[in-house]
Amino acid sequence: MTLLPGLACAVWLLLSLASVWVWTAADRPRTPLTRTRVLIGVVAVEVAATAAVGWLAASGPALTAPWSWTAVGLAGLAAVLCGGAVTSSVLALADASSRAQGPRVQRTVLRGGTWIGALERLVMTATVTAGWPEGMAAIVAVKAFARYPELKAGQNSGAIERFIIGTFTSLGWAAACAGLALVLTRP
Q: What is the pLDDT of residue 64?
A: 86
Q: What is the pLDDT of residue 73?
A: 92
Ordered DSSP codes for the chain: --HHHHHHHHHHHHHHHHHHHHHHHHHSTT-GGGSHHHHHHHHHHHHHHHHHHHHHHHHSPPP-TTHHHHHHHHHHHHHHHHHHHHHHHHHHHHHHHHHTTSS--PPP--TTHHHHHHHHHHHHHHHHHTT-TTHHHHHHHHHHHHHHHHHHHTTTTTHHHHHHHHHHHHHHHHHHHHHHHHHHT--
Q: What is the pLDDT of residue 27?
A: 60
Q: How far apart are CA 126 and CA 101, in angstroms?
A: 39
- CA distances for 169 relative to 74, 121, 177, angstroms: 19, 10, 12
Q: Which of 87, 95, 158, 146 is nearest to 118 (CA)?
A: 87
With beta carbons less than 8 A apart as the criterion, state whether 57 and 5 touch.
yes
Q: Which of 128, 117, 4 is nearest to 55 (CA)?
A: 4
Residues of the chain with pLDDT below 50 are none
Q: What is the pLDDT of residue 181?
A: 92
Q: What is the pLDDT of residue 72?
A: 92
Range of 70's domain? Answer: 3-184
Q: What is the pLDDT of residue 91?
A: 87
Q: What is the pLDDT of residue 101?
A: 52
Q: Which of 15, 43, 60 is nearest to 183 (CA)?
A: 60
Residue/partner pairs of 25-30 with CB below 8 Å, 24 or more apart: 26/85, 26/88, 26/89, 26/92, 27/88, 27/114
CA 43 to chain centroid, in Å, comes to 10
- Total-model pTM: 0.83
